[in-house]
């Protein structure tokens, strides 16, 4: 397994629409292993392949805390087949938007169809943080970040902060 570099906003590579996966191969499973290792190290609870510069429709999620047994979930070519009319608000963060957080409202429950680690078709219903996280990751597949759900004023403020931090790190 190998650690990959997570791309941070603003970056045109995060705006790319990811391509569907044709077949789930060993190479693809190696990529998912790398994504999981990169996500655990960050640490984060989810990661889309496009965040490491691979624009394929692949997501890994693990909601387990650091002291809990790992419980990785893999989603390839996910599609939302149902979303609850009822909505839920969570404070979201993103590994591509480091150290910035804000409230985002999304459907509270969703059903999703996807391929798993072995390439088998699955359809499952999710609620709570899992529903929020999967929708956040599926946004990445469309080139959308959580800050795109905020007002232009808040988004512009966050992008300015990200650029300021980037410039400061380039100065050393």
Instruction: Find the binder of Ni ion among 35, 94, 115, 162 (CB under 5 A).
Output: 94
By CB under 6 A, which span of 25-33, 47-55, 74-82, 111-119 interacts with ligand GNR?
47-55
Judged by beta carbon, residue 28 or residue 48, the one nearer ligand GNR is 48
Whole-angstrom Cα Rg for the chain: 16
* Residue nearest ligand GNR, CB atom distance: 44
User: Can residue 132 be called a binding residue for ligand GNR (CB under 6 A)?
Assistant: yes
Which residue in 41, 7, 28, 42 sits closest to 74, CA to CA? 28
Contact code string over 94-113 relative to ligand GNR, x by CB under 6 A: xxx-----------------
The residues, any chain, with a CB within 8 Å of residue 163's CB and separated by 6 or more, are: 10
Q: Could you list the residues that contact ligand GNR (CB under 6 A)?
A: 44-48, 51, 90, 92-96, 132-133, 136-137, 140
């Amino acid at each position: 397994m190998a650690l990959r570099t997570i791309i941070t906003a603003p970056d045109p590579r995060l705006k790319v629409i990811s391509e569907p996966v044709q077949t789930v191969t060993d190479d693809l499973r190696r990529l998912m292993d790398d994504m999981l290792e990169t996500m655990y190290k960050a640490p984060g609870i989810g990661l889309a392949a496009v965040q490491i510069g691979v624009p394929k429709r692949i997501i890994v999620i693990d909601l387990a805390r650091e002291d809990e047994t790992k419980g990785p979930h893999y989603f390839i070519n996910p599609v939302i087949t149902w979303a609850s009319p009822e909505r839920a608000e969570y404070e979201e963060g993103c590994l591509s938007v480091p150290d910035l957080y804000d409230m985002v409202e999304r459907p509270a429950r969703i059903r999703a169809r996807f391929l798993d680690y072995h390439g088998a078709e699955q359809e499952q219903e999710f609620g709570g943080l899992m529903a929020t996280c999967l929708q956040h990751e599926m946004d990445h597949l469309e080139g959308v970040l959580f800050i795109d759900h905020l007002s232009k004023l808040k988004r512009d403020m966050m992008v300015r902060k990200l650029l300021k931090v980037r410039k400061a790190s380039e100065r050393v």
